[in-house]
Structure 1
Amino acid sequence: MSSQKVSSKNKAVDAARKKIQSNRTEDFNASEIAAAIVEGKREELAKAITLIESEKPSDRPLAQELLKAVKDLSSGKETLRIGITGIPGVGKSTFIERLGLDMINDGDRVAVLAIDPSSKKTGGSILGDKTRMDELAVHNAAFVRPSPAAAALGGVARATMEAIILCEAAGYNKIIIETVGVGQSETSVREMVDVFTLLLIGGAGDEIQGIKRGIVEMADLIVVHKADGDRIDTCIKTAQSYSNSIHLSPIPDGG
């Protein structure tokens, strides 16, 4: 392909991208979208989260207008926010799908905000968590939204708090936040949730290491995951080890 054709193709792609971005905000009526969210329409909820996650300065006034409209219309019903953290490979997505389906069986509506890691080089994100919750993601009583962490620290995305507010307004009474899962820096989510849960794998580190790095002390629940097959004994020992170590840890703020 000649350089002239490549240049023309790139210009066409850029023009199409700009048109899509322009149409997204020009056709966006905050009051109408807010009303649709409160009615529980998932497509509009997804559109709203895309707006609040936008890094374009020109989108911020519209995002703020939308959040205000949603707060004015929402019922303020009681909800439960649950944060799930743990190292990559611990099985957070699998655990969340099972937990979410059990909640739905109990009559709840469940929203999952899954934060995926972003490339430090490109800023891109695979957003693969949703593909590991295939049953939950298509359930009528669930909303699963993957979001890139981008440059945000603390295990959450920049607009996670706003996304929680939107999901609650849409009638989801159980909100689950899955953190990036990069290790011990994921503490911001604890300030956003009612229950902060740490997932562990049997035999993956001793309790002293956990205490030194701080995340164990902040957890409201510690779950030793993947306790099946020939891993049961190892998982039981890990649970006992962490149970003993908790007695040596300071009590988290608020009890």
Structure 2
Amino acid sequence: MTDRTPAKLAPRLLQGDRRALARAITLVESGRADHRAQASALLEVLAKSGRQALRIGLSGTPGVGKSTFIEAFGLMLTAQGLKVAVLAVDPSSSRSGGSILGDKTRMERLSRDPNAFIRPSPSQTHLGGVARRTREAVALCEAANFDVVLIETVGVGQSETLVAEMVDLFVLLMAPAGGDELQGVKRGIMEMADLILVNKADGDLKPAAMRTVADYAGALHLLRKRPQDPPGFPKALPVSALADEGLIKAWEEMTTLADWRRETGHLERRRAEQARHWFEAEVREGLLARLREDPDMRAMMAQFGAAVAAGETPPSVAASEMLKRLRS
């Protein structure tokens, strides 16, 4: 790991060296204490560069064509001279391998593009660990001078909320659907979305896709107006990743929204709120880690846990007593 020390990695990464970026991400993914210390030192050095990318979160149900969309969208951006990084938040990867682990091979053209970088998520046993590593990977990609960072989530509920806390724009990719399927879309995810893109708007599916766009546009219109949105947002648009249609329009809408938020100060305030959120999350995670590492604390947790499981003590009472003992 000598070539992964901050002193050796930072200059190469700031020059856009892809191998240095890959090694730096491997470093922040590591759970070893010495690697975590090196990762923290590296991130501190890189933060001084002040580089920022447009962070875009992308979610969608399985089968919606996320891999096809990301490849087509990424290639469209690199054709414009932009550097694009694709990251993933995939809590399922530690259990089943997760679909994202196959995305790099499915996005073969994009993975070969010199202006693109694709990184599957680390295998972690809890979503918080995946989110932390992804957030730090975003910072590394920004330092490596990428213009756009796409953060994909597999769409399992909590992962969308975590991704929304690390991006500037949140995009929901949907397939042509009927009214019943529209009813099944969670209101919370709809409220997070800045853009809803209805994919597969081509061929025989195009009429259904256009109806779905109208349905989503109507649903978005009924949601409460958000202060971070200019008139007309959030909105729904048709796209076809397969036919490369609607991608330029979608990008124009994303940049319009991002520019408006930047000019009005919303983007800066949002990033400040996100930084505070992740600071507090790190503190909570650190406290929990101390509980897990201390043998006495583990024994006490096991004792109270057994009492709660046996119905001898209510969870709230056990938690209160545990906290009392921690303070003493």
Q: TM-score range by the shorter chain?
A: 0.7 to 0.9
Q: How does 1:1-255 map to 2 (within 5 A)?
A: 24=1, 26-72=2-48, 74=49, 76-118=50-92, 122=95, 124-125=97-98, 127-148=101-122, 150-153=124-127, 157-183=131-157, 185-203=159-177, 205-210=180-185, 212-252=186-226, 254-255=228-229
Partners of 2:129 and 2:174 in 1: CA distance: 16
Cα distance per residue 1:125-165 (max 9 Å; x no partner): 56112112111111111111111363443896331111111
Q: CA deviation at 1:174?
A: 0.9
Q: List alignment gaps of at least 5 residues for structure 2.
A: 230-328
Structure 1 residues 82 and 50: alpha-carbon distance in aligned structure 2, compared to 1, 3 A threshold = same
Partners of 2:28 and 2:129 in 1: CA distance: 18
Structure 1 residues 149 and 233: alpha-carbon distance in aligned structure 2, compared to 1, 3 A threshold = farther
More helix by share: 2
Structure 2 counterpart of 1:202, which letter? P
Partners of 2:128 and 2:6 in 1: CA distance: 30
Question: Which moves more between the two structures, 131-140 or 149-158?
Answer: 149-158
Structure 2 counterpart of 1:43, which letter? R
Given the two structures, how large is their TM-score scaled by the length of structure 2? 0.63
SS of 1:246's equivalent in the other structure is: helix
Q: Say which structure, 1 or 2, has more relative contact order (CA 8 Å, 6+ apart).
A: 1
Partners of 1:68 and 1:163 in 2: CA distance: 13
Structure 1 residues 234 and 89: alpha-carbon distance in aligned structure 2, compared to 1, 3 A threshold = same
Given the two structures, how large is their TM-score scaled by the length of structure 1? 0.80
Q: Which is higher, the Rg of structure 1 or of structure 2?
A: 2
Q: List alignment gaps of at least 5 residues for structure 1.
A: 1-23
Structure 1 residues 154 and 93: alpha-carbon distance in aligned structure 2, compared to 1, 3 A threshold = farther
Give the % identical residues. 50
Considering only aligned residues, what root-mean-square deviation do their CA atoms show, in Å?
Answer: 2.4
Contact 2:57 2:167 in 1 (8 A): yes
Alignment coverage as a number of residue pairs = 227
Contact 1:156 1:180 in 2 (8 A): no
Structure 2 counterpart of 1:192, which letter? M
Partners of 2:158 and 2:151 in 1: CA distance: 16
Partners of 1:140 and 1:116 in 2: CA distance: 25
Question: Which moves more between the two structures, 89-98 or 34-43?
Answer: 89-98
Partners of 2:148 and 2:31 in 1: CA distance: 28
Cα distance per residue 1:106-134 (max 9 Å; x no partner): 111111113344356x5755611211211
Question: Which moves more between the two structures, 35-44 or 53-62?
Answer: 53-62
Partners of 2:199 and 2:157 in 1: CA distance: 16
Partners of 2:78 and 2:165 in 1: CA distance: 25
Runs of 4+ in structure 1 deviating by more than 6 angstroms, as ranges, are: none
Question: Which moves more between the two structures, 36-45 or 175-184?
Answer: 175-184
Structure 1 residues 165 and 185: alpha-carbon distance in aligned structure 2, compared to 1, 3 A threshold = closer
Contact 1:84 1:178 in 2 (8 A): yes
Contact 2:21 2:144 in 1 (8 A): yes
Contact 2:47 2:143 in 1 (8 A): yes
